[in-house]
A = this chain, B = another copy of it.
Amino acid sequence: MYDQTIPQLDKMLGNLDTWLGEASEWAEHRGFDADALLHARLFPDMFAFDRQVQSACDTAKLLGARLAGVDAPSHPDTEKTLGELRERVAKTRAFLASLPREAFDDAATKKVYLPFLQGGFVLGAEYVTAFALPNFYFHTTTAYALLRQAGVKLGKRAFIGGMNVQRDA
């Protein structure tokens, strides 16, 4: 379960950090207040950009904490600038990096109690596949979409990031 989640979440958070850096540069180049991006929404009843980034971070953080069986650090949603959102991403990555691989040995069969299941639980493997990863990609994709709509020059390669490519000898 570790290999299926933590390195990939870390990489995607690194991609997100790169997009945030590109957004700052674009705002400067184009001449608008970069931090106004934090309030951008695709539709009035969807989360704004800040909340999309915070939700992506929290989904990654909680996946790590729940599967490893440790408490998640508290990260209050107080960010007001792109720079502060980048710090939030960095704190999340540092937490994921602190989790020992062995802590995930029995993760697939762990009972994961989610607040909105009202006392119900899903097993770890189901939690990852059917909730945490879809939710993580929902928020990262929506954050990416909001930056694209604001004109930030990003492409699919910036979304996917690097892969462990091999070649036949």
A133 touches B130 (CB 8 A): no
Residue of B nearest to A153 (CB): B45
Interface residues of A in 113-143 (CB under 8 A from B): 117, 119-123, 125-126, 129-131, 133-135, 137-138, 141-142
- One complex includes copies of this chain to the number of 2
Question: Nearest Cβ distance between residue A115 and chain B, in whole angstroms?
Answer: 13
With a CB–CB cut-off of 8 A, which chain B residues contact A145? 42, 141-142, 145
Query: Residue-by-residue, is A144-158 near B (CB-CB < 8 Å gives 1, otherwise 0)?
Result: 110011010000100
Question: Nearest Cβ distance between residue A130 and chain B, in whole angstroms?
Answer: 5
With a CB–CB cut-off of 8 A, which chain B residues contact A159? 134, 138
Q: Does A98 contact B (CB under 8 A)?
A: no
A123 touches B166 (CB 8 A): yes
Q: Does A12 contact B (CB under 8 A)?
A: yes
The segment from A3-11, A25-33, A87-95 that touches chain B is A3-11
Task: List the 3 shortest-distance A-B pairs measured between CB atoms, nearest first.
Answer: A137-B137, A141-B141, A120-B165
29 contacts between A and B (CB under 8 A): A3-B125, A3-B129, A4-B4, A4-B125, A8-B130, A42-B42, A43-B149, A46-B148, A111-B166, A117-B165, A119-B167, A119-B168, A120-B167, A121-B165, A121-B167, A121-B168, A122-B163, A122-B166, A123-B164, A126-B164, A130-B164, A131-B163, A134-B159, A135-B160, A137-B137, A138-B141, A138-B159, A141-B145, A145-B145
